[in-house]
C-alpha cells in the first residue's frame, strides 16, 4: 500500500509501510523499557505480575537511575507516551523507562551525573520512546524507486524515507550524467556519426 507517491527527476518514488520492521528494542539502546501487561510484550523486560515490575522499579530507583512512568493508550491499536493520556478508560501506566545512571555517564565519557547530563538523559528517553511508539503503531516506512528497483526500509517518518529516496535518485542521475560524458568522449574520439549516438534524453531519465 502506497502512503505517498512522487515523480522526481524522471523517477517514480513510492513510500510504503514496512511490513517486516524490526523492533527498535533490538538495537543498541541506552534506556531500558520495563513493560507489565498480560497481552503486550514490546519492552526490553516484560512482566506478567505486579510484584516483579515493582521490584525492578525499586531497584532502579535505589541505583540512582532516572525512572520515568510509561503510559499506553489502547483503542483500535496502541500508542505509548511518557505523559498520561486524557482517556481514563482506555489508557494507563503500562510500565516505566529506566535510564541507567552508570551506563549513561560512561556513554558520554563523564565522571558525574551532572544536571546537564540528566537533562540529556531525559531527551534521550523521550527520543527512544517516540521511536518505540512509531514501531508499536506500525508507523515504519520504506521507499521503492520503481524504475530501478532500489528500495530501503526501516524509516520512522514518511519525510525521512522520501528524503533518502530523493538522495538516491540524485545519485542515479549524477552517475548517469558522468557515464554519458565518458561515453560522449569515446564517441568523439572514435568519430562516431551523430546519428548513431544516443541522445542525452535517451541516456538520462530526467
Q: Which of 134, 137, 129, 119 shows the shortest CA–CA distance to 96? A: 129
C-alpha distances out from residue 145 to 13, 18, 155, 159, 205, Å = 5, 15, 15, 15, 13
Cα–Cα–Cα angle for 153, 22, 140, rounded to 5 degrees: 50
pLDDT digits (tens, 9 = 90+) for 14-40: 999 999 999 999 999 999 999 999 999
In a shared domain, residues 30 and 126: yes
**Number of compact structural domains in the chain:** 2
| Helix, strand or coil, per DSSP, at residue 63 | coil
**Residue 190 has what pLDDT?**
60
Please name which of 34, 26, 18, 23 lies closest in space to residue 125, comparing C-alpha atoms.
34
Q: What is the pTM of this model?
A: 0.80
99 with 83, same domain: the answer is: yes
* Residue 143 within any structural domain of the chain: no
Residues 127 and 165 grouped into a single domain: no
CB 100 within 8 A of CB 7: no
User: Does residue 48 sit in the same domain as residue 111?
Assistant: yes
Residues in the chain: 206
Query: 133 and 53, same structural domain?
Result: yes
Q: What does the pLDDT look like over 8-17, one tens digit per residue?
A: 998 999 999 9
Q: Do 123 and 161 belong to one domain?
A: no
86 and 111 co-located in one domain = yes
Q: Is residue 195 part of a domain?
A: yes
Taking 80 as the threshold, does the pLDDT of residue 195 lie above it? no
Distance CA 141, CA 39 (A): 25
Cell of 85: 493520556
Q: Residue 169: give the domain boundaries.
A: 2-19+150-203
Determine, yes or no, domain membership for 145: no
CA-CA distance, 157 to 163, in Å (whole number)? 10
Q: Of 114, 137, 160, which residue is a domain's last?
A: 137
Distance of CA 40 to the CA centre of its chain: 21
Is residue 10 domain-shared with residue 28, that is, in the same domain?
Answer: no
> How many Cα atoms are found within 13 Å in the side-chain-facing hemisphere of 83?
4
Q: Are residues 169 and 183 in the same domain?
A: yes
Domain shared by 57 and 99, yes or no = yes
Percent of the chain topping pLDDT 90: 65
For residue 159, the model assigns a pLDDT of 93
Are both 94 and 54 inside the same structural domain?
Answer: yes
Averaged pLDDT score across all residues of the chain? 87
Top-confidence range, 79-83, 179-183, 193-197: 79-83
> Are residues 29 and 11 part of one domain?
no
Amino acid at each position: 500500500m502506497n502512503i505517498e507517491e512522487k515523480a522526481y527527476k524522471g523517477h517514480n518514488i513510492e513510500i510504503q509501510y514496512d511490513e517486516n520492521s524490526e523492533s527498535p528494542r533490538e538495537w543498541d539502546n541506552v534506556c531500558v523499557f520495563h513493560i507489565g501487561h498480560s497481552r503486550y510484550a514490546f519492552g526490553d523486560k516484560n512482566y506478567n505480575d505486579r510484584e516483579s515490575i515493582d521490584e525492578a522499579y525499586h531497584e532502579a530507583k535505589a541505583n540512582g537511575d532516572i525512572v520515568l512512568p510509561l503510559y499506553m493508550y489502547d483503542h483500535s491499536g496502541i500508542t505509548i507516551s511518557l505523559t498520561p493520556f486524557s482517556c481514563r478508560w482506555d489508557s494507563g501506566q503500562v510500565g516505566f523507562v529506566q535510564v541507567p545512571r552508570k551506563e549513561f555517564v560512561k556513554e558520554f565519557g563523564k565522571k558525574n551525573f551532572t544536571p546537564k547530563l540528566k537533562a540529556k538523559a531525559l531527551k534521550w528517553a523521550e527520543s527512544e520512546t517516540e521511536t518505540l511508539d512509531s514501531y508499536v503503531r506500525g508507523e515504519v516506512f520504506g521507499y521503492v524507486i520503481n524504475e530501478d528497483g532500489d528500495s530501503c526500509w526501516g524509516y520512522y517518518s514518511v519525510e525521512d524515507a522520501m528524503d533518502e529516496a530523493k538522495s538516491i535518485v540524485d545519485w542515479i542521475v549524477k552517475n548517469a550524467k558522468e557515464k554519458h560524458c565518458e561515453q560522449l568522449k569515446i564517441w568523439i574520439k572514435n568519430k562516431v556519426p551523430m546519428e548513431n549516438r544516443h541522445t542525452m534524453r535517451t541516456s538520462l531519465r530526467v
